[in-house]
Amino acid sequence: MDLTGKTVLITGASRGIGAETAKTFAKAGANVALLARSSDEIAQLAGDIGSQALAIPCDVSRFWEVEAAINAAHKEFGSLDIVINNAGVIEPIAHMADADPDAWGQIIDINLKGVFYGMRAALPVMLSAGAGTILTISSGAAHGPVEAWSHYCASKAGVAMLTRCVDNEYGDKGIRAMGLSPGTVATQMQREIKDSGINPVSQLDWDVHIPADWPARALLWMCSQDADEFIGDEISLRDEDIRRRVGLI
């Protein structure tokens, strides 16, 4: 794909899927706005990518920061074509009877409200332009309970519904909204899951996890017309047909 002249904003861009997505979209010619709380990491990544990258320190659990970041990206590059709501956390992993209520709520602030804030800040800009793509990172945890992941499951279920709501309200106004469920990915989050020793996911061998560039490449493909049949829906990278269409197998 050639995304020259297009602007993509990526939350949680300092590592894992977010960082790989930034590299993948930059290689496709896009301007990339990198958002994360880890300012040093995104500054380094932006430096590696070059002049088409902009690092914006941002806490997605604060709407005013997300809104300011989107405005800064739009001002710098002149457009906002794609928003990838990738930022998400899973720690602290805990059973519900032992979970700290404040820590549980902070996960919702980042994983769910942070996605809504990204959508809310981006939609007026995209609607005024008459087009835009909003992508979210979903999970199998959005559709079934996982032991000690009540915060993560609840937040991802909410994100899946937000994606459907965006399509319901703005699909006829040029907004393409889709979710990607990547499966288990070899990232720092997966190391935290393994260290917890709780539930079957933590027992998986490391070599069964897919590399972070796979979901990055899938997200790029989702911006193409070939993925239009999935608008308003969720794509699973566990699906071999999807992997084949993305070019992974």
3-state secondary structure of 109: helix
Q: How far apart are CA 131 and CA 126, in angstroms?
A: 6
What pLDDT is attached to residue 205? 77
DSSP element (H, E) containing 133: strand 132-137
Torsion angle (degrees, nearest 10) of CA 220, 52, 110, 127: -70
What pLDDT is attached to residue 16? 92
> Which residues form the catalytic set?
152
What pLDDT is attached to residue 209? 81
What pLDDT is attached to residue 192? 86
CA 79 vs. chain centroid, Å, equals 19
What pLDDT is attached to residue 28? 97
Structural domains in the chain plus CATH codes: 7-184+213-246 (3.40.50.720)
- Classify residue 176 by burial, with Cβ atoms within 10 Å: 0-12, 13-18, 19+: buried
What pLDDT is attached to residue 194? 80
- Give the Cα-Cα-Cα angle 88, 81, 173 (nearest 5 degrees): 100
Residue labelled with tokens 């005024």: 128
Q: How far apart are CA 59 and CA 74, in angstroms?
A: 18
Amino acid at 4: T
Tens of each residue's pLDDT in the chain, 249 residues: 899 999 999 999 999 999 999 999 999 999 999 999 989 999 999 999 999 999 999 999 999 999 999 999 999 999 999 999 999 998 999 999 999 999 999 999 999 999 999 999 999 999 999 999 999 999 888 999 999 989 999 999 999 999 999 999 999 999 999 999 998 777 777 788 888 888 888 877 777 787 889 999 999 999 999 999 999 999 999 999 999 999 998
Task: Please report, in angstroms and rounded to a whole number, the separation of the first and last CA atoms in the chain.
Answer: 18
CA 37 vs. chain centroid, Å, equals 15
What pLDDT is attached to residue 107? 96
User: What pTM was estimated for this model as a whole?
Assistant: 0.93
